[in-house]
Amino acid sequence: MSRSLHILRAYITHYLLAWLASRSFAFTLVANQAVTPLIGLAVWSTALPGANLSSYYLALLVTRLVTVSYEQHTFSGRIYSGELIDDLLRPHPAMLATLGQNLALRAWHVLIGLPAIVAVLLLSQASFALPDVLLAVPALVGAAALQFLFTYTLALSAFWTERAHGVVGIGGTLVFLLGGEAVPAPLLPDAIRPLGVALPFRAMHGFPAEIAAGLLAPDAMLVGYGWQLLWLAVFAIGAALVWRGGVRRFMAVGG
Amino acid sequence: MARIQAEHLSVTFRAPVREAGLRAALGSLVRRRYRAVEAVRDVSFELQPGELVGFIGPNGAGKSTMLKVLAGVLHPTAGSASVLGFTPWQRDQRFLRQIALVRGSRPLAVPPELTVLDALRFQQLIYAVPEQQFRRNLAELVELLSLDPLLERQARGLSLGEKMRAGLAWSLIYRPAVLFLDEPTIGLDVGVVTVIRRFIADYCRQTGATVLLTSHAMADVEQLCRRVILIDHGRLVFDGKLAVLSERLAPHKLVSLTLAGVPAANLASFGEVVEHDGALVRLSVPRGDVAALTARLLAALPITDLTVAEPALEQVIGTAYGGRARESLPSKE
């Protein structure tokens, strides 16, 4: 286990340096990630001026940057090009390189996005209570893990289809619609709110933001953590099974 | 115990196909057609520890696919294999630490901004090579492959030959016991090819590594391998000594003469005239008749020089790739 952590740390360091060379592109990625929460903040502040969702959307901005995942680009492409061979030849779990790149990208997103976070904090009416922020930290870690597992599992569709980008895109759309970005879960219609709470999408984005913004009662928080843990187990097992099935189909034939 | 053992291995994959044109392209969205491609068909062979075997065949024969199956990268459709006592496609970490697959098309599979030494240090970490052993291995590889000027250079700036040398060091820094070399000299100039060949031979001799080498450059095979496995259309056609393959596929030798004057006798009466350029004559003669014919030539013709040579290996193997091999060769020697 410690050897895997050593190797993971080496991959993170390596990809941090690699993305230094592509920092201008990283800026555009961060801008792309920041747009949706900022639009949500503007829209809901206008639609429900008394609701004060500034804290929620600022926390959502942070959550987006911390949970960002691009495995349809960083990993599916390696399946299509045959470069996955390099990962399969190494004496460690093939996922480590992908995870290392994911964590390095997230670090860059937070670093580059920090000025925007500070600006929104100063310019909006967002305010946070320290206990709420501390209670949200485990949820944020869980959301980061869940988003990676979710995107990685969808990216594994590259073993079966040439449309992995589309598959992951559909997943991204579901996260946007049901994950608390288009509509915060507490504002969902009564008929579908229980579904929105139970599905994995809120656990990836909206759940940590709701805790940090003080929008959840303790019992609702516990239920949310329960769902997050359940989905983590589902996608961890799912990713392992899909990987096992997919790697058997991998056909980088030819020289 | 054999170090590499393949038994009735087959690899079949489905390749999407469609006709040309927009209509066919749109139709394929609704109904996709596939063709089964048998890349490897029922191939069996063994390599003993320390063997350096050439794995040859025409383009698309299944050589690279076979190497990838034995390296654990691909799953076969049928059959079994054992490399160092492991089933390759189970990808046990103890197995992966002892093998290397070096591809001429991508010898140094590292991010381009890393320096060569960065890449070697990364391999040290991945393969858990102790520091002292790493320094010792590095020193040997630097000397054998003349890597000193390259260590601080980024991978992106290396030429193909430099990438191949760095790539060999990168793949061998942890001293694998089994090497799969897939076209290691492809696209390289004569000087670098000589270095690579010498290095492979030295590495095998020093470490006792078992090597399976594919190459279209027959000189690689001729200089490095006593034994060859010939594969064509996915099937094993020949497995045995290179000399035997040459004899079976080319039952003739080439007798070259330099004449002092115009020959009185008809040259065709001595054998098939392959070339006649002024005083230089080349005859193709059945192997069994060479000694007797040489005596007749020396007695009948004004000869100033006479040599007997094997036909060029490229020509011999070209014959095999042309399909004659399947009819003329027993599969194992």
Interchain pair B71, A89: CB under 8 A: yes
Under the banding of pLDDT at 50, 70 and 90, the label for residue A255 is low
Q: What confidence score (pLDDT) does residue B242 get?
A: 86
Pairwise CA distance, residues B326 & B330, whole Å: 8
Q: What is the pLDDT of residues A81-139, one digit of tens each?
A: 889 999 999 999 999 999 999 999 999 999 999 999 999 999 887 889 999 999 999 99
Domain CATH code at residue B218? 3.40.50.300
Q: Is pLDDT of B107 > 70?
A: yes
Cα dist. A149→A69, A102, A146, A152, A242 in Å?
A: 9, 11, 5, 5, 11
**Tally of structural domains, chain B:** 2
Chain B nearest C-alpha distance from A243 (Å):
13
Interchain pair A254, B64: CB under 8 A: yes
Instruction: Name every chain A residue with its beta carbon within 8 A of the beta carbon of B114.
Output: 14
Whether B115 and B159 map to the same domain: the answer is: yes
Whether B131 and B277 map to the same domain: the answer is: no
Least confident among A31-35, A200-204, B265-269? B265-269
The answer to whether the beta carbons of residues A132 and A212 sit under 8 Å apart is yes
The answer to whether the beta carbons of residues B229 and B252 sit under 8 Å apart is no
Q: What confidence score (pLDDT) does residue B322 get?
A: 66
Whether B242 and B258 map to the same domain: the answer is: no
Whole domain around residue A98: which residue ranges? Answer: 2-254
Whether B87 and B192 map to the same domain: the answer is: yes
Whether B161 and B296 map to the same domain: the answer is: no
Whether B47 and B85 map to the same domain: the answer is: yes
Pairwise CA distance, residues B2 & B153, whole Å: 40
Q: What is the pLDDT of residues B13-64, one digit of tens each?
A: 887 788 888 888 888 777 888 888 899 999 999 999 999 999 998 888 889 9
> Is B20 within a domain?
yes
Whether B148 and B283 map to the same domain: the answer is: no
> Is B262 within a domain?
yes
Whether B237 and B115 map to the same domain: the answer is: yes
Query: Is the ipTM value over 0.85, yes or no?
Result: no
Whether B40 and B139 map to the same domain: the answer is: yes
Q: What confidence score (pLDDT) does residue B329 get?
A: 59
Task: Summarize the confidence of residues B223-230 as an average pLDDT.
Answer: 92
Instruction: Output the average pLDDT for chain A.
Output: 92
Q: Token digits for A149? A: 């597992």
Task: Summarize the confidence of residues A184-197 as an average pLDDT.
Answer: 89
Q: Token digits for A4? A: 């895997």
Whether B276 and B188 map to the same domain: the answer is: no
Q: What is the pLDDT of residues B235-281, one digit of tens each?
A: 999 999 988 888 777 788 889 989 887 666 678 888 888 888 888 88
Pick from B11, B60, B73: CB nearest A88: B73
Whole domain around residue B257: which residue ranges? Answer: 251-309
Q: Token digits for B201? A: 């031979």
Question: Is A156 or B144 the better-scoring residue by pLDDT?
Answer: A156
Q: What is the pLDDT of residues B13-24, one digit of tens each?
A: 887 788 888 888
Q: What confidence score (pLDDT) does residue B333 get?
A: 57
**Tally of structural domains, chain A:** 1
Q: Is pLDDT of B157 > 80?
A: yes
Pairwise CA distance, residues B40 & B55, whole Å: 13
Interchain pair B126, A254: CB under 8 A: no
Q: What is the pLDDT of residues B273-332, one digit of tens each?
A: 888 888 888 888 888 888 898 898 888 888 899 998 877 777 777 776 666 545 555 555
Of B223, B246, B269, the position where a domain reaches its end is: B246
Whether B11 and B101 map to the same domain: the answer is: yes
Determine contact: A161 vs chain B, CB below 8 A. no
Chain B nearest C-alpha distance from A249 (Å):
7
Q: Which residue of A has its CA nearest to B111?
A: A18
Pairwise CA distance, residues A139 & A201, whole Å: 13
Whether B146 and B271 map to the same domain: the answer is: no
Question: Is B126 or B218 the better-scoring residue by pLDDT?
Answer: B126
Q: How does DSSP classify residue B212? A: E
Determine contact: A17 vs chain B, CB below 8 A. yes
Q: Is pLDDT of A145 > 90?
A: yes
Least confident among A47-56, A240-249, B292-301? A47-56
Determine contact: A6 vs chain B, CB below 8 A. yes
Domain CATH code at residue B258? 3.30.70
Q: Which residue of A has its CA nearest to B92?
A: A91
Instruction: Name every chain B residue with its beta carbon within 8 A of the beta carbon of A247.
Output: 75
The answer to whether the beta carbons of residues B213 and B183 sit under 8 Å apart is no
